[in-house]
């Protein structure tokens, strides 16, 4: 199946639109406006006022806060809230106190939950700049964001599975390095014949996953079919498995395929492992699949780009004060081989940093369709209660000083996506097949020239 687009941040797509939080009943400890509420209002306003990549309109911010509080109160059943009009001052600290006072008065006058009023006020602040990436993240949103970027951990076998459309059996799409399956010698494209004696024929992916996962330290017995032959049953002991952001496999003609789902905390290390494994198998070219990758951390984008770009600029970041910082390659590149990068309309932010750097440097060829076009950078500022604000703090430029925001990056070779693609499967992925054909010709040309 096609990968689901991942929407993440900090040089990424927005996880959630700014919103007015749903009403939550006040508890005994939340009936009065407290120090944490005051601190969160103050910090949020300071971050927006000082760090947003454009100068903000303070009065527009106050008006938006008032509108957001008004909407929240109506949502709780207050028919016609009457909130004082706030006035912005030249002194930011006085403006902060206006917001503080407005929330306190609303809390007392309408017996509303002060924490939820605080959240509504902060959402209003972020809405005021009309930037889709500048948003408030409540504690759950922020936790989900971190989990999405840094991956989850579960107990299982370390097998990435898929269903074969023809046989309806569960097959091995990938194996997590050093996991139980990897240690047992299970390989890509193996057929999982049975799981604890149960045939996988006709099982859905979620049903097979449930059978493979289980309590840490418990056994699971698999029968594996490889190249048409049934191997002796093997028993694996479930271990903690961290969800990967990088998946690799070898394609025909010794073309290594590496797909990145997000630019997370461990993506660089995972990419190193994937490239090492493929090089050990004799990879003569690489496909870097960034389709449906919504981005992630800036430093991860630089690290990934540096694996293919030996030297020179990767990206330039321009802040509010027009200060431009150019980040160079990290001198960690693999030996040069033909490289194709797959992109589409969901390739965004950090993915576009890597795509743009590879295209501008000339070390690879972009194949697919135009990218999303997100050329701005977000910084996340955690707040005391586990929530956070995510604020656009800069824009970025490719090595050739291209501003791709709202424009996107055109691929070097255009290739349309087929209906119901299965990314990574050349028989059901026309864009990948285009990349394979391109790289096969490159390899043949190198061989003809004695390279």
Contacts of 444 (CB under 8 A, 6+ apart): none
Same domain, 106 and 217: no
Same domain, 202 and 259: no
Report d(CA 374, CA 408) in Å as an integer: 7
In a domain, 149, yes or no: no
Instruction: Return the number of other C-beta atoms located less than 10 Å from residue 210's C-beta.
Output: 12
For residues 208 and 257, state if they share a domain.
Answer: no
Q: Is residue 281 part of a domain?
A: yes
Same domain for 325 and 437, yes or no, is yes
Number of neighbours of residue 126 by Cβ within 10 angstroms: 27
Are 169 and 292 found together in one domain? no
Considering the domain architecture, whether residues 255 and 238 belong to the same structural domain is answered as no
In 65-217, at which residue ranges do the beta strands (DSSP E only) sit? 135-137, 153-156, 159-163, 170-175, 191-195, 198-199
How many alpha carbons fall within 13 Å on the CB side of residue 415?
23
276 shares its domain with 360: yes
Q: Is residue 434 part of a domain?
A: yes
Regarding whether 115 and 57 lie in a shared domain, the answer is: yes
pTM of the model: 0.84
Give the residue among 286, 232, 296, 237 at the shortest CA–CA distance from 262: 296
Query: Helices 58-75 and 35-51: crossing angle, nearest 10°?
Result: 140
Last residue of a domain, one of 242, 265, 282: 242
Q: Is 53 helix (H, G, I), strand (E, B) or coil?
A: coil
CATH of the domain at 164: 2.30.42.10
Structural domains of the chain, count: 3
What are the angstrom distances between the C-alpha of 433 and each of 82, 252, 355, 437, 444? Answer: 62, 11, 19, 6, 16
In a domain, 296, yes or no: yes
> Is 426 within the bounds of a domain?
yes
In a domain, residue 58? The reply is yes
How does pLDDT run along the chain (451 residues), one tens digit per residue? 454 333 334 443 333 333 344 434 334 344 577 899 999 999 999 999 999 999 999 999 999 999 999 999 999 999 999 999 999 999 999 999 999 999 999 999 999 999 999 999 999 999 999 999 999 999 999 999 988 888 788 999 999 898 888 899 999 988 888 899 999 999 988 999 999 999 999 999 999 999 999 999 999 999 999 999 999 999 999 999 988 999 999 999 999 999 999 999 999 999 999 999 999 999 999 999 999 999 999 999 999 999 999 999 999 999 887 789 999 999 999 999 999 999 999 999 999 999 999 999 999 999 999 999 999 999 999 999 999 999 999 999 999 999 999 999 999 999 999 998 889 989 999 999 999 999 999 999 988 876 5
Catalytic residues, by residue number, are: 349, 360, 374
Output the six-digit token pair for 76. Answer: 């709780």
In whole angstroms, give the CA distance from residue 371 to residue 351: 9
Q: Which 8-state DSSP code applies to residue 263?
A: B
**Domain span at 115:** 35-131
Q: Please say which residue of 242, 274, 290 terminates a domain.
A: 242
Q: Is residue 5 part of a domain?
A: no
């Amino acid at each position: 199946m096609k990968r689901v687009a991942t929407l993440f941040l900090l040089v990424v797509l927005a996880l959630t639109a700014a919103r007015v939080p749903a009403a939550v009943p006040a508890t005994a400890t939340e009936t009065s406006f407290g120090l944490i509420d005051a601190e969160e209002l103050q910090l949020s306003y300071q971050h927006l006022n000082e760090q947003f990549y454009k100068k903000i309109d303070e009065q527009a911010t106050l008006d938006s806060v008032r509108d957001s509080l008004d909407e929240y109160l109506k949502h709780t059943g207050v028919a016609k809230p009457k909130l004082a009009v706030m006035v912005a001052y030249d002194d930011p600290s006085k403006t902060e106190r206006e917001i503080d006072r407005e929330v306190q008065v609303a809390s007392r006058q309408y017996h509303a939950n002060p924490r939820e009023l605080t959240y509504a006020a902060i959402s209003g602040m972020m809405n005021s700049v009309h930037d889709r990436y500048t948003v408030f993240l409540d504690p759950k949103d922020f936790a989900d964001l971190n989990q999405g970027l840094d991956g989850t951990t579960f107990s299982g076998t370390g097998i990435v599975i898929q269903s074969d459309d023809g046989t309806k059996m569960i097959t091995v799409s990938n194996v997590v390095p050093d996991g139980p399956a990897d240690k047992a010698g299970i390989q890509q494209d193996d057929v999982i014949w049975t799981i604890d004696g149960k045939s996988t024929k006709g099982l859905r992916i979620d049903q097979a996953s449930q059978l493979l996962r289980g309590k840490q330290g418990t056994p699971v017995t698999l029968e594996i079919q490889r190249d048409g032959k049934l191997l002796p049953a093997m028993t694996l002991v479930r271990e903690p498995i961290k969800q990967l952001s990088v998946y690799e496999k070898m394609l025909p003609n010794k073309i290594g395929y590496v797909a990145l789902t997000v630019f997370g905390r461990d993506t660089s290390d995972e990419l190193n492992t994937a490239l090492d494994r493929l090089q050990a198998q004799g990879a003569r070219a690489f496909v870097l699949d960034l389709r449906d990758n919504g981005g992630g951390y800036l430093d991860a984008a630089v690290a990934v780009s540096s694996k293919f770009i030996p030297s020179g600029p990767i990206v330039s970041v321009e802040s509010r004060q027009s200060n431009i910082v150019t980040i160079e390659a990290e001198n960690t590149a693999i030996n040069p081989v033909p490289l194709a990068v797959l992109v589409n309309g969901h390739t965004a932010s950090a993915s576009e940093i890597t795509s743009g750097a590879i295209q501008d440097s000339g070390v690879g060829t972009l194949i697919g369709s135009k990218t999303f076009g997100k050329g701005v950078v977000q910084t996340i500022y955690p707040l005391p209660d586990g929530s956070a604000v995510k604020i656009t703090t800069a824009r970025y430029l490719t090595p050739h000083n291209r501003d791709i925001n709202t424009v996107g990056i055109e691929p070097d070779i255009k290739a349309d996506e087929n209906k119901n693609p299965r990314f990574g499967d050349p028989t059901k992925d026309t864009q990948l097949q285009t990349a394979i054909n391109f790289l096969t010709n490159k390899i043949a040309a190198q061989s003809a020239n004695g390279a």
